């Protein structure tokens, strides 16, 4: 809506010269379950001009887990997702308050160059948005703009990343073809590969399978399950079954408020808040 697809795509790859080396900082420990926390959101408010879209959000996102954000349209879940890698920065008139820690780095205070964040926190969008380039170039793009020139290194990284995105077998013989020649599902996996190429630690996914057929959707969901071994994933979805299937944790947003968050199994069998129950059972309004 507020970005064109190519701009989104460029931002997700982190347009800077040096690949950011991931610092192995000690993960913050969750007090109650002793699981490492990757992102800690505290008292987060967000405004589009006068309109407050997020109100006092507090959420801890565990490392190497899938966290699903659910809620009706306009509830703030996509806005929240975009605050996690400062994608909202480019929208005029927006304002953010509160803190978001990536490990122990405050992404709004400690970082002046947002591409540093976007390299560590990649993003995949609802509509697949490959560059008008070849399949190979789409994946190699992030590496090249990050200063890597070694063709062998790039070639190996492209193959490795396409394998991670479960796409290699389908495209290995046509890497020089246009990305637009791929099916919708393949294009989306290509975009995931492109996001993975710069080795992010966190992957944000904004309804990544909403425009795909069931088979392509299943592939994306399998991929998410596979990727959480190495990445922390936050996924926005309107599909309740998908949230239930792919995520470990679920957060329910309504009118800019985080109503309830918890273990997915609990949210979908025994939610504690009536609004959550009404939403997931389709009795809203």
Partner 1 sequence: MTRPFENEIDRLRKKILHLTAMVEESLQSAVQSVIDRDNTFADDVIVNDQKIDQYEVEVEEECLKILTLHQPVAADLRYVVGVLKINNDLERIGDLAVNIVKRNQQVSKQSVANVPFDLPEMLKKTLRMVGDAADALVDRDVAKAIEVCKTDNEVDELHKSAYTEIQKCLADDKGLIDFYLSLLSVSRNLERIADHATNIAEDVIYMVDGEIVRHQGG
Q: Rule CB under 8 A: which residues touch partner 1?
A: 240-241, 244, 268-271, 276-277, 280-282
C-beta closer to partner 1: residue 70 or 123: 70
Q: How far is the CB of 247 from partner 1 (least distance, A)?
A: 13
CB atoms within 10 A of CB 163: 13
Q: Are 276 and 92 in contact (CB under 8 A)?
A: no
C-beta closer to partner 1: residue 40 or 67: 67
C-beta closer to partner 1: residue 232 or 264: 264
Q: How far is the CB of 273 from partner 1 (least distance, A)?
A: 11
C-beta closer to partner 1: residue 148 or 240: 240
Q: How far is the CB of 249 from partner 1 (least distance, A)?
A: 16
| Residues 201, 183: Cα–Cα separation, whole Å | 27
| Residues 232, 146: Cα–Cα separation, whole Å | 22
| Residues 188, 190: Cα–Cα separation, whole Å | 5
In the three-class reduction of DSSP (H, G, I as helix; E, B as strand; rest coil), residue 261 is classed as strand
Q: How far is the CB of 22 from partner 1 (least distance, A)?
A: 37
C-beta closer to partner 1: residue 11 or 276: 276
CB atoms within 10 A of CB 15: 15
Q: Are 121 and 204 in contact (CB under 8 A)?
A: yes
Give the residue from 64, 14, 68 showing the smallest Cα distance to 195.
14
Q: How far is the CB of 270 from partner 1 (least distance, A)?
A: 3
Q: How far is the CB of 275 from partner 1 (least distance, A)?
A: 12
C-beta closer to partner 1: residue 170 or 277: 277
Alpha helix stretches (DSSP H) within 109-167: 114-120, 135-145, 151-164
| Residues 272, 285: Cα–Cα separation, whole Å | 18
Q: How far is the CB of 240 from partner 1 (least distance, A)?
A: 7
C-beta closer to partner 1: residue 231 or 268: 268
C-beta closer to partner 1: residue 40 or 276: 276
Q: How far is the CB of 264 from partner 1 (least distance, A)?
A: 11
On the 0-12 / 13-18 / 19+ scale of CB atoms within 10 A, 234 is buried
Structure tokens at 201: 């630690």
| Residues 53, 79: Cα–Cα separation, whole Å | 7
CB atoms within 10 A of CB 215: 9
């Amino acid at each position: 809506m507020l970005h064109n697809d190519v701009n989104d795509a460029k931002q997700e790859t982190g347009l800077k010269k040096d690949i950011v080396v991931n610092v192995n900082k000690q993960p913050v420990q969750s007090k109650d379950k002793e699981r490492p926390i990757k992102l800690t959101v505290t008292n987060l408010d967000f405004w589009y001009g006068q309109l407050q879209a997020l109100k006092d959000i507090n959420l801890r996102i565990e490392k190497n887990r899938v966290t699903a954000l659910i809620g009706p349209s306009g509830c703030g879940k996509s806005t929240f997702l975009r605050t996690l890698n400062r994608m909202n920065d480019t929208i005029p008139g927006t304002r953010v308050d509160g803190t978001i820690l990536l490990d122990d780095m405050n992404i709004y205070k400690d970082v002046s160059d947002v591409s540093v964040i976007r390299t560590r926190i990649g993003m995949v969008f609802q509509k697949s948005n490959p560059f008008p380039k070849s399949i190979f170039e789409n994946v190699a793009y992030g590496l090249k703009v990050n200063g890597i020139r070694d063709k062998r290194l790039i070639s190996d990284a492209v193959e490795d990343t396409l394998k991670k995105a479960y796409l290699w077998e389908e495209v290995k013989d046509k890497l020089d073809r246009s990305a637009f020649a791929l099916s919708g599902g393949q294009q989306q996996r290509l975009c995931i590969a492109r996001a993975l190429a710069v080795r992010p630690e966190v992957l944000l996914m904004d309804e990544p399978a909403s425009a795909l057929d069931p088979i392509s959707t299943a592939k994306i969901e399998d991929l998410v399950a596979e990727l959480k071994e190495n990445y922390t994933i936050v996924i926005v979805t309107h599909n309740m079954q998908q949230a239930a299937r792919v995520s470990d944790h679920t957060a329910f947003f309504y009118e800019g408020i985080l109503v309830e968050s918890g273990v997915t199994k609990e949210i979908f069998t025994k939610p504690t808040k009536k609004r959550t129950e009404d939403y997931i059972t389709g009795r809203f309004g």
